[in-house]
Chains A and B, each alone.
Chain A
Amino acid sequence: MSSESARLRVKTWICAAVVVLANVFGNFFLKKGMPADLPTPWSYITILFQPWVALGVVLLILWLMSRMTLLSWADLSYVLPVTAVGYVLVALAAHLFLAEQIPFKRWAGIVLIVAGVALVSLGTPPRTHKPEAGA
């Protein structure tokens, strides 16, 4: 029983890391390739072929897939706060690589997010019940 819960914990952390990193870099590359204006509905489609935007889209697809995998065993109310650490990394990437100015209030918010993440992920098991076999 305890080796089952240890297996699930390791699997959960690996999968959560993939979810977070794919999300952070997906968003980053999307913004990096985004022009200041998308004037027509057609430009929403053509921008998907801009190289940075395309890379961002690929990473966000990986994000979606890895997140669905994680949700196949973990509660949504566990996954949401744990993957919130991505907000910190996105702000850092925006500051370091896109030269966005981040005021004190934003950094304070980031500290609160980390505290919330720690509270949820350290205090509770990844799921509250076993799903029925088969389904």
Chain B
Amino acid sequence: MKWIYIAIIVAATTVGEVMQAAGMRRHGEIRDFRPGALRRALAVLSRNAFVIGSVVAMAVSFFAYLGLLTIAELSFAVPVTAVTYVLETILAKYYLKEHVNWLRWAGASLVICGVALVSL
């Protein structure tokens, strides 16, 4: 059951976060932090298909995470879901077309190794 929860969390989080990044990139940099401007940004974002899709995927991931937390330690549950790093960095390069230079690959690889050790 534990690994079913983890599989759902990893798949839904990866899809959700990549869609979130794509949606926010399409929206552009948020520069104005006054309440009125933030409300307007929120209104625009709520019509952004990528943002809507990401919220749905994150909700699925959240309820699976609640299930995982009932049976797993926090210091296991949080790091183990970082398997998403591998998938997301790859998607950042090939789907979002971000320039992932060797320092980012090296850093992400170290993070992944660390996360693997943490979850053993």
Contacts and interface: CB of A to CB of B under 8 A. Distances in A.
B74 interface: yes
Contacts of B103: 119-120, 123-124
B107 A116 contact: yes
A79 to B, nearest CB: 8
A110 B114 CA distance: 6
Interface residues of B, number: 55
Nearest to A70: B24
A30 B69 contact: yes
A76 B88 contact: yes
Interface of B: 17-18, 20-21, 24-30, 45, 51, 58, 62-63, 66-67, 69-71, 73-75, 77-79, 82, 85, 88-89, 92-93, 96, 98-101, 103-104, 106-120
Given A76-B96, A76-B98, A81-B108, 7 more contacts: A76-B18, A91-B75, A91-B79, A94-B73, A112-B113, A117-B111, A119-B110
Nearest to B69: A34
A64 B58 contact: yes
Interface in A77-135: 77-81, 84, 86-87, 90-91, 93-95, 98, 100, 102, 105-106, 108-121, 123-124, 128-129, 131-135
Nearest to A135: B28
14 contacts: A67-B20, A68-B51, A71-B20, A91-B118, A109-B115, A109-B118, A109-B119, A112-B110, A113-B111, A116-B110, A119-B106, A120-B107, A123-B103, A131-B29
Given A112-B114, A119-B107, A90 B17 contact: no
Interface residues on A, range: 35 or more
B69 to A, nearest CB: 5
